[in-house]
Structure 1
Amino acid sequence: MTTAMTTDPAVPETRDDGPPSRPERDILDCLAQLSNSNVPTPPVLAEQMLNLLPAEVWARPDYVWVDPFSKSGIFLREAASRLLDGLEDWEPDFEKRREHIFRNMLYGCATIEITGEVSRRSLYYSRDAAGPESVLRFDDSAGNVPFVPAKHDYGPGGRRKRCRTCGASKKKVERGDSRENYAYAFIHGAYPTEEMKDMKFDVIVGNPPYHLEDGGHNNSATPVFHKFVEKAIEMNPRYLVMITPSRWFNGGKGLNGFRGRMLQDRHIRRLVDYPKLYDAFPGVKIRGGVSYFLWDRDHDGDCTVQTMWDGEPMYEPMTRDLGEWDVLVRWNRAVSALRKVRDYRVKGKPEPTWAARVSPMKPFGFRTYFHGRATRRGIKDPVKLYGSKKITWIDRSEILVNNAWVDDWKLLMSRVQGTSAAIERQFLPRPIIAGPGEACTETYVVAGRFATRQEAEYAASYLRTRFARFLVSARKATHDSARDVYAFIPQVSLDRVWTDADLYERYGLSEAEIEFIESHICELAAE
């Protein structure tokens, strides 16, 4: 677990007439590149998020704002600047206007102790809100932006190994009172505080922590961002603007229930998606990209989806039903082609999907790093085992599950497919045809079993097409290529070699749809 802030920014020059002028290089731009779990928001991105809100919010002196997971204070700083302008007609006197905004309208809760100091410097120009350098003197040094300590919930007697609220590993985060335990107050019931229990927040805005180490294999992490979204929606504000990883669209550990609720939530009015790596957060690797949304309590309808690329809108926005599929299809230009494939009928019936052919994890019961012997010598009934970066041999009696599959022709597909490129363009690995007497570890999924080699080769050629990999791209947010990513691919008859031209014609795709597919999906080089 890394701390989001490691340095203390210099205090901006104090002015008597409002927020400080923006320096040529904003210190918060630098802070925004220091972490990939507690990711501070770059100022430009924060401004774009606030632009989603209706203009009327900046002229409402009765609205109460909160950033319940403040890291740099950027959202509160930008809101203060806009409110100082927007409320001028309501209160022409600058000092009185600023007093009202800072004391009665803007609240926050820091994620950790040091982000509280940074947030207060951003908003009040001083880490000590009761000190002489603060633009507004509070009775308490934390002002309206405290760090509120909280505790993890390890059940009765503290016997559980992971927190029941956020899934954090006791071993990883409980290191004594002198170090952060990352029990974020907002989701652990400590914020809003007891003194704030009757307060109603009109606007919630921010960028929550994304994940916590869960003590699992290979330093695995559990998403927590959805906990913050759910808690914020539960508070029923007028407006909610939050940015999160986009992996919830179609994947993510423990995110199935959250995804289902979000797709059916008709209060989500706008969604802005950044699929390109590093586009929203320069220097911070967030696989699958990020997105932010506007949740509007009074909205009941479809959502306008906008894709961004290199910081600019990519194509026209599209208003659509987020719940049309069981995943959120991020590419607007993919929607019409997906509908044609979904609605295609064979003898009046929809085609089954390829996901029905794909095995679950550990198709033969072996973990990723299991390996057999280097040679088949001395093995009574040898089985060739495809594993992580090597091929080894085991006895057939060692097969843990699905022993009968050993006799089939099989298509093996790596579970991990992705590159360090800013955007994925391949989406599926090259298929491996495994014959009778062969098996694999969970490094692979079995993407189909067949009676003959010819049928397996036809299947392999089909999954190599741009068409099939395009359908995978609509469901795949990260490097993981599990069974679910195949659920848009129809099962065609495996009695021929399918080409992209054949498939485009079969499903009646337009020239514009074909152009999008071929610009979005790379052609695989000949083997």
Structure 2
Amino acid sequence: MAVAEQAGFQLRNRNPDVLTCIANLSNDEVFTPPEFANRMLDLVAEAWATDHDGASIWADSTVRFLDPFTKSGVFLREINKRLVEGLAEEIPDLQERVDHILTKQVFGIGITQLTSLIARRSLYCSKWANGEHSIASSFDSADGNIWFEPVEHTWAGATEFIETADAEGRPVKRGTNGRCTYCGTSQRILEREDGLETYAYAFIHTNDVHARMAELFGDDMQFDVIIGNPPYQLQSDGGTRDVPIYHHFVEQAKKLQPRLLCMVMPSRWMAGGLGLGEFRQTMLTDKRIRELVEYPVSREVFPGVEVKGGICYFLWDATYHGRSAMSTVRDGNEVSRSSRDLDEFDILVRDGRGIEILRKVLDRKEESITTILSVDKEFGWTSNFSGYHSIKQRDDVPLYYNSKGKRLVGYVARSQIKKSAHLVDTWKVLTPKAGSDGGQRIPDVVLGQPMVVSSPSVCTQTYLFFFLDNQRQAESVASYFQTKFFRFLVSLRKMTQDATRSTYLWVPVQAWDRAWSDQELYSKYELSAAEISYIESMIKDLGGAHGG
């Protein structure tokens, strides 16, 4: 009789596999497809074999696995399947083997009440671990080894308060607009009536993750492998921006000192992300990152879900110290693979094929074009600024702004310009901060059309701008901006649609006395035919600049 039939449940050949059909809860909590989870488990198994003289991790009955943010339970289910097969020789009796695996080796923490039930159903074939239909026969509790209990946020830093009362009627002043000290999310957004999900994840809402694990699973709990796909972000600031939280899960997992750590997360950390500077530096300098696999197009991994900037997963190995194997996958194909020191630059260049080109440019130690580039909101006006008029009056200055996707010009009195007045009387090359979508489609234009505008002029936050002394210089910069070479260097730092000032850091200044072409730039920086071909394949023609 087959293994699956003996156990009274199907470990294989589920047709269809329900976990390939389940819908995501949101873009923040993305269910992992089984096929992708198994790629990560294959990577874990390879690293374990390398570290243990070729031994199979699935044939070791002492190894403990933890998914500390389980949603569908796919990682736990696939680990169970592999262990059931791998331990057949050591524990011949199937029921005894299944009980050993589920009670001693496989553990999870649900991120919500709903996902904990889904995960138990995936792993135990019952939403109750000790239920009639559970494949485990040794659990006393309904939770089994998949824990979930509601956890509260810890609010601090409030500046607005309400008068209320405690359970005994005594007056209490309570803050209403604080932030959680653990995850940074907004109290105003997430503090809702009792009974609704708070998204206060147990794994990161603690100062002592070791104590939390002892509380959940026992004092002697040490996990060999931590693996999973954490929540990515929470809303904050009235929904105008999202607060990343995935890095907190990575940091907590490392504190548990596993042998191997394998996690999925958005790729934005490599070059940007709100509040991720310290995390990025820690990741780039961590020599224990054995492998890093990056997908610029998230839909290749999570069908129907767009994660801006793509997604990646990494393997962290406590026994490893060296260069990281980094690969980029597009359309199911590995388009780039290299062994790299991740901290060579201040950010992580995703595609290894561009690194040698970048080195050739940076080796010349030329000044960065950011020396003539404005900062964000240079004149102090946000993109929705409306304090302008449409008919020019005496001493007015043209104001360039964008409305409903159209580039428009209004006028403001020079006396209204309180910030960066020294830049008003310069020629400018305006560039929209919103460009293409960060390499989702190849070839990519990377940036929007530049626009040359005469002196005097100002603009809203919609634009960054290069400031020059005269028209000839401005037109020279615009020609440079339109080259594939220029936009390729920007693309190495640009992860999402937003082209911030820092994305231009690696673009060198040129002499502003000519109209620049790619051929001149390729020759100047001594690029090889293969390097030129690569740039040409990655960057799309932009066309002519607009005049203003």
CA distance in 2 between counterparts of 1:445 and 1:243 reads 33
Normalised by the length of structure 2, the TM-score is 0.89
Work out which of the residue numbers 383, 388, 391 in structure 1 matches 2:397: 383
- Equivalent in 220, 233, 244 of residue 211 of structure 1: 233
Q: Secondary structure at the match of 1:460?
A: helix
Residues 464 and 524 in structure 1, CA contact (< 8 A), matched pair in contact too: yes
Q: How big is the alpha-carbon RMSD for the aligned residues of Structure 1 and Structure 2?
A: 1.9
Aligned equivalent of 1:124: 124
Q: CA deviation at 1:233?
A: 1.3
* 1:302-333 alpha-carbon deviations (Å, 9 max, x no partner): 00011111223224x21111111111111111
Deviation at 1:83, TM superposition (A): 1.1
How far off is 1:396 after superposition?
1.5
String of CA shifts for 1:282-307, please: whole Å, max 9, x gaps.
10011111000000001100000111
Q: Which residue of 2 aligns with 1:38?
A: 29
Match of 1:238 among 249, 254, 259: 259
Other-structure match for 1:164: 181
Q: Is the alpha carbon distance of 1:131 and 1:18 closer, same or farther for their aligned partners in structure 2, counting shifts above 3 Å?
A: closer
Partner secondary structure for residue 294 of structure 1: strand
Residue 445 of structure 1 corresponds to 464
The one-letter amino acid of 2:426's match is: D
2:196 counterpart of 1:182: no
Is it true that 1:464 corresponds to 2:482 in the alignment?
yes
1:430 counterpart letter in structure 2:
Q
1:84 maps onto 2:84 in alignment: yes
Question: For residue 107 of structure 1, what is the aligned residue in structure 2?
Answer: 107
Q: Which residue of 2 aligns with 1:252?
A: 273
Contact preservation (8 Å) 1:275, 1:423: no
Partner Cα separation in structure 1 for residue 504 and residue 36 of structure 2:
34
1:153 alignment partner in structure 2: 154
* Deviation for aligned residue 1:19: 4.4
Corresponding residue of 2:70: 70
Q: Of 293, 317, 327, which aligns to 1:296?
A: 317
Question: TM-score normalised to the size of structure 1?
Answer: 0.92
Query: Does the 8 A contact of 2:285 with 2:343 survive in 1?
Result: yes
Asked whether the 8 Å contact 1:32–1:41 carries over to 2, the reply is no
Residue of structure 1 in register with 2:165 after alignment: none
How far does residue 49 in structure 1 lie from its aligned partner after superposition? 1.1
CA-CA distance at 1:59 after TM superposition: 2.2
Counterpart in the other structure of 2:451: 432
Aligned equivalent of 2:355, options 335, 339, 356: 335
Give per-residue Cα distances to partners, 1:208-229, cap 9 Å, x unaligned. Answer: 000000124x531111111111
1:321-352, CA deviations, whole angstroms, 9 ceiling, x for partnerless residues?
A: 111111111111111111111112xxxxx101
> Which of 105-114 and 46-55 deviates more?
46-55
Q: Deviations over 1:352-399 (max 9, x none)?
A: 11223222211100111112334234x442121112323322111212
Q: Does 1:23 align with 2:20?
A: no
Contact 1:415 1:443 in 2 (8 A): yes
Task: Find the counterpart in structure 1 of residue 223 from structure 2.
Answer: 201
**Contact 1:272/1:291, CA 8 A, preserved across alignment:** yes
Answer yes or no: is 1:323 the counterpart of 2:349. no
Instruction: Find the aligned partners of 1:306 and 1:255 in 2 and give their Cα distance.
Output: 22
- Bigger mean CA deviation after superposition, 84-93 or 97-106: 84-93
CA displacement at 1:193 relative to structure 2? 5.2
Give the fraction of aligned pairs with identical amino acids, expressed as a percent: 40
DSSP 3-state at the match of 1:51 = helix
Structure 1 counterpart of 2:413, one-letter code? D
Asked if structure 1 preserves the Cα contact closer than 8 Å seen for 2:438 and 2:495, the reply is no
Q: Is there any run of 5+ residues in structure 2 with no aligned partner, and where?
A: 50-55, 158-172
What SS does the corresponding residue of 1:388 show, helix, strand or coil?
strand
Most deviating of 126-135 and 30-39: 30-39
Per-residue deviation, residues 122-179 of structure 1 (Å, max 9, x unmatched)? 1000111121011114211111112132111213886452112112111111112200
Q: What amino acid is the match of 2:344? A: E
Q: How many Å apart are 1:14 and its aligned residue? A: 8.2
Check the 8 A contact 2:70/2:109 in 1, yes or no.
yes
Report if aligned partners of 2:484, 2:535 keep a CA contact under 8 Å in 1: yes
Check 1:478–1:96 CA distance in 2 against 1; reply closer, same or farther (3 A cut).
Answer: same
CA–CA distance in structure 2, aligned partners of residues 101 and 18 of structure 1: 15
Inter-partner Cα distance in structure 2 for 1:172 and 1:22: 43
Aligned counterparts of 1:27 and 1:219: Cα–Cα separation in 2: 35
Return 5+ residue gaps in structure 1 as ranges: 1-12, 345-349
* 8 A contact 1:415–1:482 mirrored in 2: yes
Structure 2 Cα separation of the partners of residues 193 and 366 of structure 1: 52
Q: Which residue of structure 2 aligns with residue 9 of structure 1?
A: none
Q: Distance in 2 between matches of 1:32 and 1:51?
A: 25
- Kept in 2, the 8 Å contact 1:504–1:514? The answer is yes
**Residue 483, structure 1, aligned to residue 497, structure 2:** no
- Aligned partner of 2:530 in structure 1 is 512
Q: Determine the C-alpha separation between the residues in 1 that align with 2:5 and 2:227.
A: 26
Contact 2:6 2:94 in 1 (8 A): no
Give the one of 399, 410, 420 matched to 2:417. Answer: 399
| Count of equivalent residues | 506
Q: Pick which of 434-443 and 501-510 moved more.
A: 434-443
Q: Report the Cα offset of residue 60 of structure 1.
A: 2.0
Q: Is the 8 A contact 2:374 2:467 kept in 1?
A: no
Q: 1:34 & 1:144 partners in 2: Cα distance?
A: 23
Shift of 1:46: 0.6
